[in-house]
Every structure is written in structure tokens, then in C-alpha cells.
Structure 1
């Protein structure tokens, strides 16, 4: 969050690809409002996205970035390929955007489904553009972002190294008998110390009695012996994330959980082997589900066995306000350079519990696991026992 992470040729190629998409769909300009997509085309990485940002992309000519006037210094430092158009806080962001868009002609594509786009903005644009056509282009640039360039892959590898450090910090702190907030502090330090940025999500660190809370994190208690601790986290480098997760046993693992761990790891390995260019998402999910079916858990279903990751701004590392998952009904084709957070999540099956997840990069021959953290059960024997 202190420099533009992308080379100029990288940004030029991205802008050119997006403009080609606009031309193929007979659009003359586009308005982007998602922080992830504005960052993708300009490299603007800051926390000012809590206020509306709009990137106007004509098929020819200068791009324009419309946001608060107070962001001038940051944008002039980061952004090399768009003109800054600032407005005072007394001016509605929609009014400022309309003033710029009225200078353009032709059909306009508008990214409407994002955290940065409000109903008043949509209404003001519709009135300003009429009688010209306004087309919803939500998801168009997200699709272009799915395949990671070499520059992006390098950032994700760097983020994965930090994820490993964060997970090891959690294991070490739990072994020392650390309380919930103390473990979290050690994890956050490890994710940051060697060049990491604040992640867009998490870390999620929960004791056993709160395992079912999908998106909550640490409390103010201690982790008791004999229980389990859920840890899911991600390093972040230049907004790129590489999540991983583990279910850590405080003491010796139960026999049924150890057996489920074998199924869990087999399912994970099957997914990684199947993540090849040309594969289809629903077939990959079916492979994972098949390992559960084989042990008599055909009743157990998850909404996905992984989802796409890369760029992430708060409050998520999923790349926006949606999730592109490996679902049972998804016809998405896998392409080389995609990256997924693969989750072999086998919790609440009635036959034992286990969970592991890693970020996996799609290569020609299959999925490359970026994490170095062990996939085997992690059992922690603490020198000093603490009561709950």
C-alpha cells in the first residue's frame, strides 16, 4: 500500500484487453466502480476505497479516475495511466461522475454490481446518459482477471510464503499456551513482519465450540487442551492473497478424525491433480465429493470445494462481493494461470472431522500447491496446560 506494484507494460496490456472487450460488444466507454477492478487497471492500492471511486475507460483516449479531491496526492503518486478528477465532499459522487461522463458519447457500459456503486449513482447516470443505452457490464473485467500473469503469480507466491509464516506462528503460539488474542497478535505480526500488507479478510482463529461460525474470529479466552482450533488466514502482498487453513488438535487426535484426515487429504490431492486446463468445475467437485461417498458420507454436501482468489480488498480476499467457486453445478472451464483456494472441508459429517485448505495455481499438468505447511494432522502437546 505504498507503491504501484505493476509495470507499465502490464497495465497497458490489461487496459488494451478490456478495451477490446468493449469494442466487441459495441460499447464506446465503461465506468468501473469495484475497487478490485480499478486497482487491476491502474495499480491504485489504498484504503480510500471506502468512498466511491469511478474509473471511466473510453475505447480511445485518456482514462479518468473520479473520487474525492483529498486523494489527489495518493493518486498522482500511484496512478500513471489515468487523469485525476477530484470533487469536494460537498459534491455528490454521482454528480461528479455525471459531469465527466456527459463529455463522452455513444453506448456506455456500467459496472453496477459492486460495493462502490449506489442506487443514487445509477439513477443519476441513467438520467444523464438518456436516451443513450446504458449496459450493465458487471463481471466483465472480473473474467479477464481470472488468469494470473507472471507478475501476479509472483505476488501470490510471496503472499503464500507469508501465509506459511502466519500458520507456523499460530502453531507456535498455541504450543506456548497463548490466549486467543495473544495467538492472533503473533499471527498478525508474522503476516506483516517480512513485507506483508493488511489482508482483506481474517485471520479466522476459533476454538472448537465456535467452529460453525463461518466468518468470525478470535475472542478473549484460552484454547483448552483436548479441543480443536480452526485457523484460516492469508498473507497479503500488493493486494494479492494466498489463503490456507488448518484444523489444529490441542492434544492427540481422535481416531475418527484421523481416519477422516486421510479422506480429506485424498480429496484435496484429487482436486489438485484434476485442476488442468480444459477441466470443468463441476467435474472437479464431483471428484472431491466421491471420496466422501466412498466412506458412506453421501449425505454430506458442501457448496463448493474451492474458490478463485487473487486480488482482494476489505472485507474479503475473494476478489469482490461474490465467490467464483468449484461447485457441483458450475460449467466454468479451468485455464492455466487460474488460482484457487482449495478447501477439503469435512466437518460435521458424523464420521469424524478434518479440514485443510491451500492456495493452488493451475499449471499445464495440474495444480501447484503454493503452501509449504504440512497437510497432515497437527497435534499440539503443550508444556503448560490451561483450563478453559
Structure 2
């Protein structure tokens, strides 16, 4: 969060590709409002996205970034391919956007389904553009972002190395008798110490009695001998994430969990092998589900066995306010360069519990696991007693 992470050639390629899409769709300019997409086209990485940022992208001519005037120094430092248009806090973001839009002509494409686009903005744009047509282009640039360029893949590999360090920090802290907050502190230090930025969310570190909670994290207690600890975390480098997760055993793993661990790992490996260009998401999910069906767990279903990752701004690392998952009903075609957080999540099956996840990059021959952390069960024998 201190420099633009992309080369000028990379940014030029992205902007040109998006403009070509606008031309094919017979649009004259676009208004982007998703932080991830503003970042993708400009490289602006800061925490100012809590306030609206609008990137105006004409088919020809300079782009314009509309946001609060107080962000001038940051934007002039980061952004080298768009003109800054700042407004005071006494001016509504919608009014500032409309003032720039009035100088443009032609058909507009507007990114509406984002965290940065409000109802007042939509209403103001509709009034300003009438009777010109306004097309919702939500998801268009998200689709382009799905395939990671070589520059992006370098950043994701760096994020994965930090994820490995964060997971090892958690294992070490648990082994040394750390409680919930102490373990979290060690993880956060490891994720940031060697060049990482604060991740989009997490880390999620939960004791056994809260395993079923999807998006909560550490509390103030201790981890008990004989229990399990859920850990899901991600390193973050230049807003790129590479999540991984494990179910840690405090002591010896139970027999039924060990058996489920074998199914979990086999299913994970099968998904990685299946992630080849041209594969279809629903077929990948069916392959994962099939391993559960074979052991008598056909009743157990997950909403997906993985989802796309890459750029992420708080409050998520999923790339926006939605999740592009490997679902049972998804017809999404797998493309080389995609990256997925693959989750072999087998908890609450009634036949044992296990969980592991890694970030996987799609190559020509299948999925490459970026993590170096073991997929085998991790059993921790504490080196010291818990403090009172």
C-alpha cells in the first residue's frame, strides 16, 4: 500500500482490453465503481475506498478518477494513467460524477452492482444521461480479471509464501500454549513482517465450539487439549490474496477424523487434477462430491468446493461483493491463469471431520497448488501448559 504494483505496459494492456470490450458492445464510455476494478485499471491501493471512487473510462481519451479532494496526494502518487477530479465533502459524490459525465456524449455503461454504487448515484446518473441509454455493465471487468497475467501470478505466489508463514506461526503458537488472541497476534505478525499488507479479511481462527461459524474469528479464550482449531488465513501482497486453511488437532486425531482426512485429501487432489482449461465448474464440483458419495456421505452437500481469488479489498478476499464458486450448477469454463481457493471442507458429515484448503493456479496440465503447507493432519502436542 505504498506504491503502484503494476508496470505501465500491464496497465495499458488492461485498459486497452476493456476499451475493446466497450467498442464491441457499442458503448462510448464506462463508469466503474468497484474498488477492485478501479485498482485493476489504475493500481490505486489505499484505504480511501470507504468513500465512492468513480473511474470514467472513455473509448478514446484520458480516464478520469472522481473521488474526495483530500485524496489528491495519494492518487497523484499512485495513479499515472487517469486525471484526478476531486470534490469537497460538501459536494455529493453523485453530483461530482454527474459534472464530469456532462462533458461526455454517447451511450454509457455503468457498473451498478458494487459496494461503491449507491441508489442516489444511480438516480442522479439516470437523470443526467436521459434520454441517452445507460447499460449495466456489472461483472464485465470482473470477467476480464478472472485470468491472471504473469505479473499477477508473481504477486499471488508471494502472497502464498506469506500464507505458509502465517499458518506455521499459528502451529507454533498453538504448540507453545498460546490462547486465542495470542495465536492471532502471531499470525498477523507473520502475514505482515515480510512485506505483506493487511488482508481483505481474516484470519479466521476458531475453537471447536465455534467450528460452524462461517465468518467469525478469535475470541479471548484458550484452546483445549483434545479439541480442534479451525484456521483460515491469507497473505496479501499488493491486494492479491492466496488463502489456505487447516483443521488443527490439539493432541491425537480421532480415528473417524483420520479416515475423513484421507477422503478429504483425495478429493482435493482430484479437483486439482481436473482444473484444466476447458473443464466446466459443475463437473469439477461433481468430482469432489463423488468422493463423499463413495464413503456413504451422499447426504452431505456444500455450496461449492472452491471459489475464485486474486484482488481483494476489505471486507473480503473474494474480489468484490460476490463469490464466483465451483458450484454444482455452474457452467463456468475453466481458463488457464484462473486462481481458486479450493476448499475440501468435510465437517459435520456425521462420519468424521476434516478440512483443508489451498490456493490453486490453473495451468495447461491442471491445477498447481501454491501452498507448501502439508495437507496431512496436523497434530499438536503442547510444549507448555496454558496460563491461568
**Fold conserved (TM > 0.5)?**
yes
Other-structure match for 1:186: 186
Asked whether the 8 Å contact 1:225–1:387 carries over to 2, the reply is no
1 CA distance for matches of 2:368 and 2:178?
A: 33
Asked whether the 8 Å contact 1:224–1:387 carries over to 2, the reply is no
Q: What TM-score does the superposition give when structure 2 sets the normalisation length?
A: 0.99
- SS of match in other structure, 1:160: helix
Deviation (angstroms), 1:386: 3.3
Q: How many residues are treated as equivalent by the alignment? A: 388
2 CA distance for matches of 1:102 and 1:115?
A: 24
- SS of match in other structure, 1:167: helix
Other-structure match for 2:16: 16
2 CA distance for matches of 1:343 and 1:373?
A: 14
Other-structure match for 1:298: 298
Deviation (angstroms), 1:268: 0.1
Deviation (angstroms), 1:45: 0.1
- SS of match in other structure, 2:331: coil
Matches within 5 A, 1:145-184: 145-184=145-184
2 CA distance for matches of 1:120 and 1:70?
A: 22
1:106-164, Cα deviation, whole Å (9 max, x unpaired): 10000000000000000000000000000000000000000000000000000000000
Asked whether the 8 Å contact 1:275–1:334 carries over to 2, the reply is yes
Deviation (angstroms), 1:387: 8.5
Other-structure match for 1:50: 50
Other-structure match for 2:324: 324
Other-structure match for 1:255: 255
Flag structure 2 segments of 5+ consecutive residues without an equivalent: none
Asked whether the 8 Å contact 1:225–1:385 carries over to 2, the reply is no
Asked whether the 8 Å contact 2:178–2:386 carries over to 1, the reply is no
Deviation (angstroms), 1:383: 2.2
2 CA distance for matches of 1:229 and 1:177?
A: 13
Other-structure match for 2:200: 200
User: What is the Cα-based RMSD across aligned positions, in Å?
Assistant: 0.7
Other-structure match for 2:353: 353
2 CA distance for matches of 1:383 and 1:23?
A: 64
Flag structure 1 segments of 5+ consecutive residues without an equivalent: none
- SS of match in other structure, 1:362: strand
Name segments (4+ residues, structure 1) moved above 6 Å: none
Other-structure match for 1:40: 40
2 CA distance for matches of 1:146 and 1:171?
A: 32
Residues 1:134 and 2:134 are matched in the alignment: yes
Deviation (angstroms), 1:186: 0.2
Matches within 5 A, 1:104-119: 104-119=104-119
1 CA distance for matches of 2:102 and 2:386?
A: 66
Q: What TM-score does the superposition give when structure 1 sets the normalisation length?
A: 0.99
Asked whether the 8 Å contact 1:173–1:186 carries over to 2, the reply is yes
- SS of match in other structure, 1:56: strand
Matches within 5 A, 1:227-246: 227-246=227-246
1 CA distance for matches of 2:84 and 2:244?
A: 38
- SS of match in other structure, 1:178: coil
Other-structure match for 1:3: 3
Matches within 5 A, 1:365-384: 365-384=365-384
1:53-102, Cα deviation, whole Å (9 max, x unpaired): 00000000000000000000000000000000000000000000000001
2 CA distance for matches of 1:57 and 1:383?
A: 58
1:316-362, Cα deviation, whole Å (9 max, x unpaired): 00000000000000000000000000000000000000000000000
- SS of match in other structure, 1:64: strand
2 CA distance for matches of 1:350 and 1:224?
A: 22
- SS of match in other structure, 2:359: strand
Other-structure match for 2:87: 87
Other-structure match for 2:97: 97
1:216-246, Cα deviation, whole Å (9 max, x unpaired): 0000000000000000000000000000000
